[in-house]
């Protein structure tokens, strides 16, 4: 324990952010950082409770409670408090291959289940996690560590997102020869082309990729398995194949007028901007710009918020974000949303904070549904028509949206970004290999085993579980690697 009364003596402190009106003028990360003394004080707030929930990592009431990679949080909080940063880094890397990713973009379910949060504000776990790994890189403690010997087994990993990278890192650590295939021109999957640079600087992703390459992992870009290379060829040439292609098939959106110019899927919008920024600093014009446009974002999740932030940086004329969910309460409901569930409370994400600073109000509209898009004679979007809804759950657990008469509205819009989620993985590779799928079209592979119905083929991450958190992807990549190692060697050295 750091100090028995630290959580009573010290208040929760988060690093400040850059001024919203200033940061929307660039694409740089927007967080500041705490000093070492401030971080040690925050570490002292961890009470090392007898039964900690921060590292449980379980699904609860439709959300995640605790850390899915089971980070040894009380241990490294204590080590930071004591100034033992290198030891803290060792503890952190025992469970998490990429704390620089989770420390930047994870929603921190660990903090939602922190015991201190029962009576006050939780420990700043995510902030401390990021500080530990950043110090590790700054001090030169994080260096390539290739395996001492190779097993002679070859493993192909399809997809270079967090699940694929985690699987590759673990399998390489076990001594297998690993090749990662990525259809895009850059490694990183969602980390590179799904998350804007102001949330995760791409040099951070490349730094880790370079480290993995130095440890012996081979990365192959611009190569789509099932198209550029037949899926069966991969199975024939490797001793095992791990599918980590993500859940990238957009959810169907059959609303009148959705074919108009100006209606597009959110990931196409984000990917275009990110690629153009990385390629040319946006000078090549190879992206859809929101400059001077009224923009409507359909979807209240993280992807929708990233669209809001991106449109603001483009210079949009107005921005509105739709969500079918109700506006969350200001405080946790102790009956409907008790600890240690992730707290469902009203907050402003970075994007909404920026929109409020520029336009004077939260850009979100709650309990609202789009009924149709209306365009001009040339087929260009001009309006989005909506109605307020009452959301119910039927006896089968299915959500039903009931329109409320008299609540129809019209929003001006020349750009509508659809961020309503994904319907599982794309099916080309799945069909080529004859893989079984579940009712949501995800690859069927039992959690804890990860093997599919096809010999030598395993699946992990969003491709197996559906759209989820980055930290769950890392968990699945690590767990799948352990099962692959068992399959190849009869036992495993991975933990």
Q: Which residues pair with 298 in a beta bridge?
A: 322, 418
> Could you report the per-residue pLDDT of 440-450, keeping only the tens digit for each?
999 999 999 99
> Could you report the per-residue pLDDT of 196-231, keeping only the tens digit for each?
999 999 999 999 999 999 999 999 999 999 999 999
Parallel, antiparallel or unpaired: strands 263-265 and 294-298: unpaired
φ and ψ at residue 375, rounded to 5 degrees = -125, 180
C-alpha to C-alpha distances, 338 to 57, 86, 331, nearest whole angstrom: 16, 36, 11
Preceding peptide of 14 cis, ω within 30°: no
Confidence of residue 41 (pLDDT cuts 50, 70, 90): very high
Task: Name the more confident of 185 and 398.
Answer: 185
Per-range mean pLDDT, top range of 34-48, 60-74, 471-485 = 471-485
- Residue 436, pLDDT score: 98
| Exposed / middle / buried, residue 162 (Cβ in 10 Å: 0-12, 13-18, 19+) | buried
- Whether pTM exceeds 0.85: yes
Among the ranges given (48-57, 141-150, 287-296), the one the predictor scored with the smallest mean pLDDT: 48-57
Chain centroid to Cα 235, Å, comes to 29
Q: Which CATH class is domain 6-138?
A: mainly alpha
Domain 263-418 has CATH 3.40.50.2000: no
If you average pLDDT over residues 175-184, what whole number do you get?
A: 98
CATH topology of domain 154-248+423-489: FAD/NAD(P)-binding domain (3.50.50)
> Could you report the per-residue pLDDT of 286-311, keeping only the tens digit for each?
999 999 999 999 999 999 999 999 99
- Residue 2, pLDDT score: 66
Alpha carbons 153 and 176: distance in angstroms, whole number: 5
pLDDT at 48 over 80: no
What string of H, E and C letters represents the secondary structure of the chain?
CCCCCHHHHCCCCCCCECCHHHHCCCCCCCECCCCHHHHHHHHHCCCCCCCCCCCCCEEECCEEECCCCCCCHHHHHHHHHCCCHHHHHHHHHHHCCCHHHHHHHCCCHHHHCCHHHHCCCCCCHHHHHHHHHHHHHHCCCCCCCCCCCCCCCEEEEECCCHHHHHHHHHHHHCCCEEEEECCCCCCCCHHHHCCCCCCCCHHHHHHHHHHHHHCCCEEECCCCECCCECHHHHHHHCCEEEECCCCCCECCCCCECCCCECEEEHHHHHHHHHHHHHHHCCCCCCCCCCCCCEEEEECCCHHHHHHHHHHHHHCCCEEEEECCCCCCCCCCCCCCCCCCCCCCCCCCCHHHHHHHHHHCCCCEECCEEEEEEEECCCCEEEEEEEEEEEEEECCCCCEEEEECCCCCEEEECCEEEECCCECCCCCHHHHHHCCCECCCCCECCCCCCCECCCCCEEECCHHHHCCCCHHHHHHHHHHHHHHHHHHHHCCCCCC
Contact 403, 228 (CB under 8 A): no
Chain centroid to Cα 299, Å, comes to 16
Q: Do domains 154-248+423-489 and 263-418 have the same CATH topology?
A: yes
Confidence of residue 1 (pLDDT cuts 50, 70, 90): low
Tokens for 177?
A: 């020869």
Q: Where are the domains of the chain?
A: 6-138, 154-248+423-489, 263-418
Alpha carbons 480 and 450: distance in angstroms, whole number: 6
Tokens for 377?
A: 């004679």
> Could you report the per-residue pLDDT of 227-281, keeping only the tens digit for each?
999 999 999 999 999 999 999 999 988 899 999 999 999 999 999 999 999 999 9
Apex 348 CA angle, 114 and 251, nearest 5: 95
Q: Which residues pair with 64 in a beta bridge?
A: 59
* Percent of the chain whose pLDDT exceeds 90: 91
């Amino acid at each position: 324990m750091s100090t028995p009364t630290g959580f009573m003596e010290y208040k929760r402190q988060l690093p400040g952010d850059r001024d919203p009106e200033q940061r929307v003028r660039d694409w740089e990360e927007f967080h500041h950082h705490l000093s070492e003394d401030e971080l040690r004080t925050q570490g002292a707030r961890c009470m090392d409770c007898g039964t900690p929930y921060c590292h449980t990592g379980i699904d609860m009431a439709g959300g995640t409670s605790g850390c899915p990679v089971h980070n040894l949080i009380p241990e490294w909080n204590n080590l930071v408090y004591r100034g033992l940063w290198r030891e803290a880094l060792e503890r952190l890397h025992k469970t998490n291959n990429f704390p620089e990713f989770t420390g930047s973009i994870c929603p921190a379910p660990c903090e939602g289940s922190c015991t201190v949060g029962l009576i006050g504000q939780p420990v700043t776990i995510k902030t401390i996690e990021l500080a530990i790994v950043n110090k590790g890189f700054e001090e030169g403690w994080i260096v390539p560590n290739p395996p001492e010997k190779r097993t002679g087994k070859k493993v192909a990993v399809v997809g270079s997102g967090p699940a694929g990278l985690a699987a590759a890192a673990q399998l390489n650590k076990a001594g297998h020869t690993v090749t990662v295939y990525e259809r895009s021109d850059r490694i990183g999957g969602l980390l590179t082309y799904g998350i804007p640079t102001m949330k995760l600087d791409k040099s951070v992703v490349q730094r880790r990729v370079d480290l993995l390459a130095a440890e012996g992992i081979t990365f192959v870009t611009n190569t789509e398995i099932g198209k550029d290379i037949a899926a069966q060829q991969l199975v024939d040439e490797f001793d095992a194949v791990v599918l980590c292609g993500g859940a990238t098939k957009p959810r169907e959106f059959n609303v009148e007028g959705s074919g108009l110019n100006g209606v597009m899927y959110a990931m196409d919008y984000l990917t275009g901007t990110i690629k153009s920024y990385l390629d040319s600093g946006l000078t090549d014009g190879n992206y859809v710009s929101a400059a001077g446009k009224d923009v409507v974002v359909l979807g209240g999740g993280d992807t929708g918020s990233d669209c809001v932030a991106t449109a603001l940086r483009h210079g949009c004329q107005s921005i509105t974000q739709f969500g079918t969910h109700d506006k969350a309460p200001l405080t946790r409901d102790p009956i409907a949303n008790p600890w240690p569930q992730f707290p469902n409370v009203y907050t402003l994400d970075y994007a909404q904070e920026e929109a409020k600073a520029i336009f004077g109000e939260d850009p979100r509209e709650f309990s609202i549904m789009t009924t149709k898009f209306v365009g001009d004679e040339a087929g260009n979007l001009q309006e989005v028509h909506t109605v307020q809804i009452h959301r119910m759950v039927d006896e089968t657990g299915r959500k039903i949206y009931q329109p409320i008469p008299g609540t129809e509205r019209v929003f001006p819009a020349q750009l509508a970004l659809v961020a309503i989620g994904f319907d599982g993985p794309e099916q080309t590779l799945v069909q080529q290999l004859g893989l079984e799928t579940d009712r949501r079209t995800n690859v069927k592979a039992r959690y804890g085993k990860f093997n599919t119905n096809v010999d030598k083929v395993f699946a992990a991450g969003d491709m197996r579980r559906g759209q989820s958190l980055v930290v769950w992807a890392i968990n699945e990549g690590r767990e799948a690697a352990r099962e692959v190692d068992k399959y190849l060697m009869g036992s495993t050295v991975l933990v």
